[in-house]
Amino acid sequence: MTTGVRRRLGVEERRQQLIGVALELFSRRSPDEVSIDEIASAAGISRPLVYHYFPGKLSLYEAALQRAADDLAARFVEPHEGPLGARLLRVMGRYFDFVDEHGPGFSALMRGGPAVPAGGTCSMSTVSTTNALIDSVRQAAYVQILSHLGVTDPPARLELVVRSWISLAESTALIWLDGRRIPRAELESQLVHDFAALASVSAAYDEEMGALLRRVFKEEPADGPFADLAGRLLTLAS
């Protein structure tokens, strides 16, 4: 019979473990409510050892936000296969998976609310770091959506549509977290419809947008989300 020996983690392994533990705790409660003692206990190490790897709670919080931001940005990566409406619906499914799993952490990331010790203050550098992470997620989403549209040099109206839609997805998710009063699947479909609606309104003012939209809609199946929106609008008009 042999007895198991706990392997001592290297510096980077321990840092990554602590980031994962902190992110898990921040995902369940507001980061302001999570203490270093809780993080140390969950990681199975002492409080002083946490400070050996991170100078303070803010630095650990920022590292956890970085991992969360990278994960969230990756949710927008989607194979360029099939109609656009179905792709966007899959993206929204993964996006809301993240929101569902990391509610308080998602809120903290998008609202830029850094965790601070009791009675502490938030440094401008922390606010700047948080804002930069938020912007990186938005930019990653923007680039991904343009790639699905097959556009590398977007006209002003298309940039407005895509960036407005990304902001709408953020605000929708934050509102949904406050009580989850609307079924999640309905919101995912609605956001895909919102993209088509925003693009359609823009196309009514701009022929370049119109040509892009006609190309996209041409590839949409009769049972896809974009066709579903058209049917719902026709029902309202009848």
14-to-25, 26, 41, 51 alpha-carbon distances in Å: 17, 18, 14, 12
What average pLDDT does this structure show over 32-57? 91
**Residue linked to tokens 């002083």:** 48
As a whole number, the mean pLDDT across the chain is 87
- What is the C-alpha radius of gyration for the chain, rounded to an integer number of angstroms? 22
Q: List the single range of 55-59, 166-170, 194-198 with lowest mean pLDDT.
A: 55-59
Torsion angle, CA of 134/138/143/147, rounded to 10 degrees? 140
User: Where residue 111 falls among pLDDT bands split at 50, 70, 90?
Assistant: confident
Nearest Cα neighbor of 138 from 171, 114, 113, 105 is: 171
**Packed helices 184-203 and 225-237: angle between N→C axes, nearest 10 degrees:** 80
52 half-sphere exposure, CB direction, 13 A CA radius: 10
**pLDDT band at 126; cut points 50, 70, 90:** low
pTM of the model: 0.83
pLDDT at 147 over 70: yes
Which range (16-30, 118-132, 211-225) has the least confidence? 118-132
CB neighbours of 56 closer than 8 A, spacing ≥ 6? 117
In this structure, of 31-40, 72-81, 204-213, the range with the lowest mean pLDDT score is 31-40
Task: Quickly list H helices, 29-155.
Answer: 36-43, 47-53, 57-74, 84-101, 103-111, 124-149
